[in-house]
Structure 1
Amino acid sequence: AAERAVRALAEAVKYAQWRREATEPGKVPEYDDIDERGAAKLIAGLLERGEGLAVGPEDTRELLAAYGIRVRPALPAPTPDAAAEAAHALGYPVALKATAPHLRHRADLGGVRLDLADEEQLRRAYAELTELFGPAEQLRPVVQAMAARGVDTVVRAVIDPAAGAVLSFGLAGAASQLLGDTAHRLVPVTEREASSLVRSIRTAPLLFGWRGSTPVDTPALEELLLRVSRLVDDHPEVVAVTLEPVVVAQHGLTVLDATIRLAPPPARDDLGPRTLPVY
């Protein structure tokens, strides 16, 4: 009888929590450091260059910075000497990465070399990359300061023709991609929805200390999700954002790469979700 009573109480608590979350979706937070007007001015200038614009790396970093999102700079390394100069400017240890489309974010293919502690290791890694994959002009190598160890994640926002703006989250890597282990929420995302988004993927235990590993800074991750949501919600011209990878460490996180795509906002005469026109 006591066991049944405990089970019934647990179910009642779960039901009460579900009712509370259903009726209290949470709030979309405000951030004092967001420069919405500056971002709008930058977007307008970029769109003058043409429709369907893929924003360049420098402008991407500037636009994200207007929303308090810092992308770690990556310096081009067209030659071994340029790589050494970049590493000296950034400070060791560094990572050497090939940014050619077929190798981008593919550490499993050998296009990323991490924890290079000095110039000798950097030059050796550079030579290995070019021997494996071809000349540097095809690889487009860059040098980047190392981030703190953590869990690699991916944050995306896109315009779905049916649903409108959608924010997505998952872990980086082939396993998550093959499993389709990605969670989604409609923009604008509330604080409660950001928390739920992080916990909705099947691989979420890896963020919370699975099998004795160190839990990572999920509050920082949730704030990043909320800031991306605000960017997309504030500016209908932003039709795609990808932050990959986002390395979430025990304290803080690092955005190592980002891409943004812009398009003129569609004309709208309703109050529903914003969508791209379908041709």
Structure 2
Amino acid sequence: MAKKFIITDLDGTLLDTPGKLSKKYIEQLNKWIDQGLAFTIATGRDLKKTMKAINGLTLKYPVILTNGAILAELATETYLKITHIDDNISKHLVQKGQEFQLFPIVFAAFDPKKQQMHFNKGVWGPQKEITFLSSDKVYPLLELQCVSIQYHAKKEQLDPLLKWVKEKYGNQVNIIYIEDVAYSTSGIAGEWFWLEINSHEAGKDKMLKHLLSVINVKIEDVIAIGDNHNDTDMLKIASQGIAVANAVDSVKKIADLIIPSNHEGGVFQYIEEHLDEFI
């Protein structure tokens, strides 16, 4: 019987404290990984933010970043696969966003000549004043390979742009539209959402398939764990899709199993209860 391979989302799923994984769980995971646990991560975070969140965790497998737009090796900070949006589409998206008075808050681009990733970011957070990226931060990167364009605003502001993107480029890009839970739980007025636009080749499910081909693991041996809409396709293709108790209803509906919430260490409880299957 083949050993199971576990892949989990970070925020809202694995992370048990705001923005990071607690020391006790890092130590526990490292112990299990040393004993043979096949484990990795699929997150919406970029490489630097991922490393900050799980500082001290020693992963032996590549990680999926930027909601499946990137595959990387954390230990060496090496990018193994990078997807990008068609040049004409990315330029049109930015121009159309400005017509709706929307400006990116994250813009990721890859320079193929220098083999260098650029993540230009504005400022956001429940306790911070939002600062979007100015044109001089975005337009130079449009000359490179656009990996991800991300907007952060209230739902009523984002919906018109979302509608246009779906109608114009729905089958040529990967669209992620999720509520910012940090804002809603902080009592800030309005429905705040993230609109993320990546290549049509991106997605946690698509990058997972690529990862499995690289490490020679079969999809029937994969257990995927998540909490939000951007995890849905990954959970669907895995042999077992698991949702934490704090997951959104649509994820719980398609999950094969629901485990305790991230704040209760649900992922760790699940692994410990089934350790014989994983090690």
TM-score, scaled to structure 1: 0.26
TM-score, scaled to structure 2: 0.26
